[in-house]
Each structure stands twice: as C-alpha cells, then as structure tokens.
Structure 1
Amino acid sequence: MTGTNDVSGGSAGTERGASVTTGQQWDIVTSVGLTALGVAAARALETHREDRLMSDPFAAAFVKAADAPVPMPTSPEEVAQLPEDSIWAQAEMEDYMGVRSRCFDDFFAAAGEAGVRQVVILASGLDARAHRLDWAAGTTVFEIDQPKVLEFKQTVLDELGAAPKCAHRPVSIDLREDWSAALTEAGFDAEAPTAWLAEGLLPYLPPEAEQQLLTSTDQLSTSGSRLAVEDFNDVRRLFEDEDLADFGQEWGLDMRDLLHSDDRPEAPDVLRGLGWKTEVEGAEAKARGYGRDLSGMFGEMADASRFVEAHKPA
C-alpha cells in the first residue's frame, strides 16, 4: 500500500506513526521499505494473471535481489508453497495493487495524450514506470525517493540491462528535506505542465506533512498540470481491522505503527481550496470499471480507498 517515504518534519502528534517520523533513512528490507517490497511482489503476482490489468517485468527481480527476511512470493507457484494459513495465501493483495497500478498508468497515458511531457513521481518506491510504460516522445520523468531506495532500484535495472522509455531523472532525497529545490536542480521546469503522482504515500503522513506536500506541489504547478493521489477517506477504519495487523506481523511489522490515524482535512478539499478541479472514485468502483471484483483481505479494506485525479485550470 505504500511508497517508501514519509515527509513529516517532527513529532507526529500521536503515538501511532511515531516510527516513521524520525530522521532515519530506510533500506528496502526494513520498515516502510519492506512494505514497498511487498507491493512489488503483488505487482509480480498480478503480472502472472491471464486477466492482468498491468504488467511489471521488473517487480520479481526487485524482490529476489532484496533477499527479504520474510517470504515474498512473486508467482502463483511460490504462493502455493506457503502454509495454508499464510496471510499471503488469503490476502489476494495483487487484486488491489493491479487496480491501483492500472489506474495510475491510465492517468499518465491520458496526461501524455493531453500534451503533458513532464512527470514527477513522489516516493516512487519500486515501481519502475520510467522503464515499463510507453511514454510520449519528449517526456521527462522525475522520480523522488530516498537515496538507498533509488540506488537499489537502479542497480537491479542495470543488471537486467533495462533502459528507460523516456528521459529519466532520479532525484535522491528524503521528502522531509527540501525536495522542491532538489527537483529544480535536477532540471524540473515549473513553467511546464506537470503530471504528479502520490501513490501509497498519504496514509503514512501526519496531517501537517500532507498539507505541506500538496501545497508544495501546487506551488510548483502551472496551469494544465495534473495530480493523481491514492487517498483514504477514513484511515481509522484500517486500525480496526485485525487482518491488517496480522498481515504486517507476518512481515515483522505492525502496520498500525506506520500509518497515521490523525484527523485531517480531506485531500480533495485541500486541492479544491488551492484551485484544482478534482474527481474522486472509490477503489471498488474503479475495480468494477476494469472488470475486477476486489476480494480477499485487501478487498475488504478497499472501501476505504479512493483515487483522486485533479487538474489545475488556467
């Protein structure tokens, strides 16, 4: 459910989430980094499906290269080898991740068709969109994430001989730092329309950090820019689901210690207040549109998830 960064700049204000508000950097097999690895495993499983909604030819390689301390199956055969009571065998995590990935892949395709040639992926994690999507000619993709994450990802891609399908500019910086300046130094043009993505990120942020992220994105966006966000309309509901706790414990994590349950303004409302026009669709409705019925543990939680697409008018 996650990218790999938290942009909090101090105390979370609550006990929950305290573990991701320190100044640490995460590698790919600890804390939030481990959840990003789990998402990559789910994308690999989705890629094996005959009715797949997206294809990620790199996801399994990331999982194998990381040598995770817990099972991370990347094929149906590997899932079948797990104990019957394994959460992986019950969660059907690939259903939700397939829908989510396809939704945002479609977002970028639509932005390209509209003439947007500059892309910024916030907390990009292990999704190598710069390498797996067919970008319009002249597109530049900026990926922002922590240095260890981007270094690991690039090392695996180099070993595979994978080449990006666009101008690819990784920006190695923690989102708690001055990422706007680092992005500009990497060649970002604030005068050009931009397609932004915040996938698997907002639930890991305290309210003030989420507000800061959206405000900074707005300040860097000219008219014609677009923004896609994975949002949860009631994060507290996730804390009441014991299956979520069990899933994290199988990885040696308590997911409820990584997420923030603070009351916060609704992301669509924040964006509207900044002058953006927004469209919101629940994950279950989005799944139905793709002909997919969300099921399993992640399907049960999907009613809290929604996808927000915003456009900044002239």
Structure 2
Amino acid sequence: MGRTAVGVAGLRALESGRPDRLFEDPYAGAFFHAGRAIFEGEQERHRGLGMVFAQQVAVRTRFFDDFVSGGHQTVLLAAGLDARAFRLDWPDGARVFEVDLPDVLAFKETVLAEQGARPRCERTAVPVDLRDDWGAALRNAGFAPERPTVWLAEGLLVYLSRDEAERLLTGVTEMSAPGSRISFEHRPDGERDGLLERAREVGGEVTALWRGGLAGDGPEWLAAHGWQPETVTVAELAVRYGREPLDITRGGFVTATR
C-alpha cells in the first residue's frame, strides 16, 4: 500500500470534515485509518507534507470531481484510494474503470467491503502496473476504445520519467475516440515549482520518488498529438471555490479534448 495514496486519503478526510468543504468523501477516513500504520515513526514528517499539500489536494479533488462528472466511460489511471465511483452522481449506464497496482486495489476492495460501499455506476477494477501492457488489460476488462472516454491521471505523472509519461499518454491517445477528454496536473515551472520545492524541504520517501513527468510541457505535448489543451491554475480555482489562493505555485491543471 503506497504512502501517497494513504496520505491523500487522510487529506481528503480532513477536507470532508470542514463545514465549508469543497467535496465530501465518506470513505477517505476509513482508507486512512486502515493504512496509517505505514507512517509509523514518520508521523511528524507526514504531518509536514500534509500541511504543504492540504489546500492543493482539496482544490485538485474538487476540480477533478467536476471534470469527470457526467462521463459515460471514464478511466482513472493510478486510481489509488479515490472513491469517485461511490460518491459522485453518474449518468445511467456510466462505466468507470479504475487502473492501479494489484495490492492497491486489493486494499481498497477490503476497506470498501467493510464499509458496505456500493458503486453508483458500473465500476471495474483493472489490476495492472502502468509500466506493463495496461492498455490490453483495460480492453480485456471491457473498455470500448470506439467510445469517447474521460481520462484522469491524478497525481501520477510526477512519479514517471519523461519517457514513461510520454509512453503512457501515447497509449491514452491511441485509445481515445473523437470527443474524448483528459486531465492531469500542470506545473509550468517544472522542478522549480514552489509547491514541490517546499515539499522537498520536508523530504521523505514520497518526494524521493518524484521523477518529473513532462515537467511543464504537458499542454505542448497534447497539442502536438491531436488534443486541444487548456490550463487553469490552483490559485484561480481557489478563488472560484472561496479559498485563499496559493501564492507559492503557478501550477494547476491541464484539460484537453480530442
């Protein structure tokens, strides 16, 4: 079970408990409590990282909730402990595919079963390493490449090398019918992003795993491969959602339509 997935679940639980919450995730607390032993001996460092990322995770979750809403075929790449299939309203006949490592999905299934959770759509877990032939695994699970798809890569690309990120997005592009959409984080300052720099000051196993992804080139890569990208910053979204804007990053999110 990954530290990142458990840590993000903890931040989603904190946000869900606020009276002015941007979203409500009734399963986040259960995920965090079931996996919190992974932070044994590093509680202070974990709290430090949480303070750095709390606002960004809250805004990100709300933004991506809105982005996938209404999708009839949605693929969550590195789905982690996200519970969108269980907590969002989906249109009739909607299918959601959750792609992640087998151990992550097994942990997730155990906690959801204990909570008596029931998905609000047709949900399919696809246990596969995204460095392997995940496309074949997705198609074998019932994914229909001829249908427009909503793709979400939340908190993923920074953990991939540039080659790995390009290979992943090339696979997404090849399976995206016209009308498909995609979204992921965008940091125009790349490694010099203020949020990432502050997180590295806290340090730990999580930041040591970062490999940069596409750095600040996500929109350009998408445009060169047949997508029409747009970007929005965390600061802009924070104001839209009634929160104080983050002043340490120009980063945000890219969305694109094919």
Pair 240,293 (structure 1): closer, same or farther in 2 beyond 3 Å? closer
Is it true that 1:131 corresponds to 2:86 in the alignment? yes
Equivalent in 70, 73, 87 of residue 48 of structure 2: 87
Pair 186,259 (structure 1): closer, same or farther in 2 beyond 3 Å? same
Match of 2:252 in 1: 306
Residue 39 of structure 2 aligns to a residue whose secondary structure is coil
Residue 135 of structure 1 aligns to a residue whose secondary structure is coil
Write the deviation string for residues 147-204 of structure 1: whole angstroms up to 9, x where unpaired. 0000000110001100000000000000000000000000000010100001101111
C-alpha displacement of 1:265: 6.8
Q: Is the 8 A contact 1:235 1:260 kept in 2?
A: no
Residue 123 of structure 2 aligns to a residue whose secondary structure is strand
Equivalent in 235, 244, 253 of residue 293 of structure 1: 244
Match of 1:165 in 2: 120
Equivalent in 27, 30, 51 of residue 61 of structure 1: 30
Question: How many aligned positions are there?
Answer: 255
Q: Is the 8 A contact 1:171 1:183 kept in 2?
A: yes
Q: Is the 8 A contact 1:278 1:308 kept in 2?
A: yes
Match of 2:7 in 1: 38
Range that drifts further, 281-290 or 155-164: 281-290
The 1-side partners of 2:111 and 2:214 are apart by 39
Match of 2:225 in 1: 274
C-alpha displacement of 1:254: 5.7
Q: Is the 8 A contact 2:77 2:100 kept in 1?
A: yes
Using the size of structure 2 for normalisation, the TM-score is: 0.91
Range that drifts further, 165-174 or 62-71: 62-71
Match of 1:108 in 2: 68
Q: Is the 8 A contact 2:102 2:128 kept in 1?
A: yes
Is it true that 1:201 corresponds to 2:156 in the alignment? yes
Match of 1:99 in 2: 59
C-alpha displacement of 1:94: 2.7
Structure of greater Rg = 1
Q: Is the 8 A contact 2:164 2:213 kept in 1?
A: no
Question: Aligned-pair RMSD on alpha carbons?
Answer: 2.3
Using the size of structure 1 for normalisation, the TM-score is: 0.76
C-alpha displacement of 1:87: 2.1
Pair 309,237 (structure 1): closer, same or farther in 2 beyond 3 Å? same
Q: Does 1 or 2 have the higher relative contact order (CA < 8 Å, sep 6+)?
A: 1
Q: Is the 8 A contact 2:124 2:141 kept in 1?
A: yes
| Structure 2, gaps ≥5 residues long | none
Percent identity for Structure 1 against Structure 2: 43
Pair 239,208 (structure 1): closer, same or farther in 2 beyond 3 Å? farther
Residue 142 of structure 1 aligns to a residue whose secondary structure is strand
Q: Is the 8 A contact 2:105 2:125 kept in 1?
A: yes
